[in-house]
Amino acid sequence: MKLEHGARRALVTGASRGIGRQIARVLAEDGARVALHYGTQRAMAEESLALLPGTGHVLLQADLADEAQAAALAHRAAEALGGLDLVVNNAGIFIEHPVGQVDAATWAERWRHILAVNLMAPALIIHAARPYLAEAGGGHIVNIGSRGAFRGEPSAPAYGASKAGLHGLGQYMAQALAPDGIFVVNLAPGFVETEMAREALQGERGVATRAQSPLNRVARAEEIAETVRFVVSGRADWLTGGTIDLNGASYLRS
């Protein structure tokens, strides 16, 4: 399925591996030129770049915990690609910090770091990307949130809170950016077979994690990417402001 608006220009954060790598791949398959953001994994980002069909793709490094670097990323992507039509806020971090098992300084540091990467950075990227998307006649923003925003993350509360905030950000931006022809959708995956979830998917813990779904498995990164493909296709714009659950019926909400 080709993107209806021709060869579009996309920024995908956290694209060196996992979900981000697969999202970049499907967008490139549909004719987009992609700016692949990475944090520290240059070699893995180069592997992602090599997997993309087409030409004109670029790698962009940035530490999303640094506000200045996060704020500049959309500008750098637009400069490299000649504009922007799509933004996928995929980058995120998960660090356990159980309230009864860390000291006050560690607790505060975990909250600052996780919120900076998972919530503040997407907010800064959206703010910077808006003029480019508007100039292009509209576009799409997809935020990769989490089931944890609803189900809870007792061992990593800052992660759950950051993803709940990201979902809220997407809802509010869908209303604020609609006059510019910009559509904003959140995805809320459960566990996905990625490096980030490796520990949770090992041994007995992995058996229990897979058993959370009646399908007795977790998602594949490709399944999340295919949902992004549909959301940005131009055929599903009435989804704007919505949050799509992708958790294999492991958590149901009304």
Contacts of 118 (CB under 8 A, 6+ apart): 92, 93, 159, 162, 163, 165, 166
Taking the C-alpha atoms of residue 208 and residue 39, their distance in angstroms, rounded to an integer, is 31
Element (H, E) at 35: strand 33-38
How far is residue 239 from each of residues 39, 184, 234, 243, measured CA to CA in Å?
30, 8, 10, 8
Q: Which of 132, 159, 172, 251 is catalytic?
A: 159
- Residues 10, 85: contact at Cβ < 8 Å? yes
Active site annotation includes 159: yes
* C-alpha to C-alpha distances, 3 to 13, 27, 135, nearest whole angstrom: 20, 8, 18
Q: What is the dihedral of CA 25, 29, 32, 36, to 10 degrees?
A: 10
* 187: its two tokens: 């995805």
Q: Tokens 């709940």 appear where?
A: 164
Catalytic residue numbers? 159
